[in-house]
Structure formats: structure tokens, C-alpha cells
Amino acid sequence: MAKRKVLITGMAGRIGRVITERIGDKYELTSLDVKPADGYRSHVADISDLDAIRPAVEGQQTVVHLAADPRADAPWYSIHKNDIVGTYNVMEASRQAGVERVVFASSNHVVGYLPMKDEPYLAYFERRDADLPDPVPMITAEAHRPDGYYAVAKAFGESLGSYYWDAFGLSCIALRIGGVHDIDSPEGMGPLGRSLYLSHNDAAHLVDCAIAAPASVGFAVVYGVSNNTLRFHDIETAAELIGYHPQDNAGT
């Protein structure tokens, strides 16, 4: 059986490399990035230019959209260009090319102010004057508490994905990704870092699940963190909808 044709935007970035190393043999991968990805067919273009990215999207079955200014505190001018206009361009080019699904790298930052502003997370993660209740109340995909322009742009991408599914039948699975770090270890992390931790293996598994999930999923927003003892993001929905079963745990 022919391998599924998957375009990864931002393949040369941190998460792109983490994923590609682990699922690169399973799919026919192509890179779209501002620099080439070693060892793969690469389109070098900027996602802020719709015309420039069309050739990369043409003929693809799935697009994994990671390209972005990845800084949670990036200024508006950059977020506007890369994360808003860029995400529109990737969605629109995908629609025009007849892509079946866009896997969109959203972020835990869409609800990033919750642990800083709302109980019981505030008491545990910020004030450090109370224990987390047992069981920890889980934040679901309906929650929304963006902590920067970056987070606002990720929420925008989710909205756009919802619209494109309803209006055009372009499936979109948005992954509210936790913390993926160059050094793949929770060592030295505080409680919030251990809550958000997403190991490299679990990150690759998450994206793999989103690529492979049945067409019936249509549109979904799910969290992607490892199976952390301190987590407060719902991953049961990701298990149910796309078969995400993380193997790692950052501990306490």
C-alpha cells in the first residue's frame, strides 16, 4: 500500500525534527519550511506568502501545520504575520489543493492563564499554598484563557479549522501541545513544567494518531501532554477520539 503523503510545515523546527525522526518511515513526508529539512523533499517558502506555498501543498493528503513563531511571548507583528496570516494561508492552500486533513499544532497556551489565574491550579502552581485536589479537575477543550498574542493566534487557528470543516469538509485536528523541550527530560522542572511535559516519543505518537485517525473525526481539539501525575489537561478525549495513549510521566 502506498504511504500516505504528508506535508509538514515547520519540519526543520524543534517539534518537526522530533516527529520526523520517529514517524519519518511511516509516511511519505515532504517539508515546507524557510530552510530545507535534511534528507527529505523540501519546499523552501514562507507561509506568510500564499502563492509561494501552493506548490508544496499540491498533491498532499495530510498537512501537519507546525510552522509558526513558536515564542509564547512573541510580539503582535510577528504573530500576525506568521501565526495568523500564515495559518490562514496553510488552511486555504490545503482546501484549494483538496487535502483531506490538517493537523494543527495549537498549544496549551490557549488556556495558559488558567493555572496563573484560577483555582485550584493557582493555589498549587503559583501561590504554592495548597495541594491539588485528588482527583485533579481536568480542563477540557471548551476552556479558553489565552496568555499572549501567540495563544490568541492558536485559538484563531482552531476557529478557522472548525469553520473549514463545517463549510468545506476539510478535516482539522487541533492539538493543544504541552511542553516539548530540546532535552527530553523533566529533570529540574517545577510542578507546572511537570504538568505540561510532553516527551518526544509521546509527541510523535500524538501527531501520528492525528494523522491516522479516521475521517469520521472531522473536527476536534484535544490536549497533548504526557501521562503526567500532575497534569490538569484532559487527555481522555484524545484517547477516545484519536487513540492517544502516552507512555511517559514527568512525575512529581
Beta-carbon count within 10 A of 216 CB: 7
As measured in angstroms, the least distance from the Cβ of 159 to a copy of itself is 4
The grid coordinates of residue 67 equal: 510552522
Q: Which residues bind a copy of itself (CB under 8 A)?
A: 76, 80, 84-85, 88, 92, 113, 117, 142-149, 151-152, 155-156, 159-160, 162-163, 166-167
User: What are phi and psi for residue 196, nearest 5 degrees?
Assistant: -90, -10
CA distance 241 to 224: 13
Residue 62: strand pairing partners: 6, 101
**Active-site residue, 121 included:** no
The grid coordinates of residue 62 equal: 495530510
* 3-class secondary structure per residue, 52-97: HHHHHHCCCCEEEECCCCCCCCCCHHHHHHHHHHHHHHHHHHHHHH
The grid coordinates of residue 34 equal: 524557510
DSSP code at position 222: E
- The half-sphere exposure of 132 on its side-chain side, counting CA atoms within 13 A, is 17
Q: Is the dihedral of CA 57, 60, 62, 66 positive or negative?
A: negative
Pick the catalytic residue from 150, 164, 197, 223.
150
Distance, first Cα to last Cα, the chain: 44
Tell me the residue type at 167.
A
The grid coordinates of residue 123 equal: 493555589
Active site residues: 150
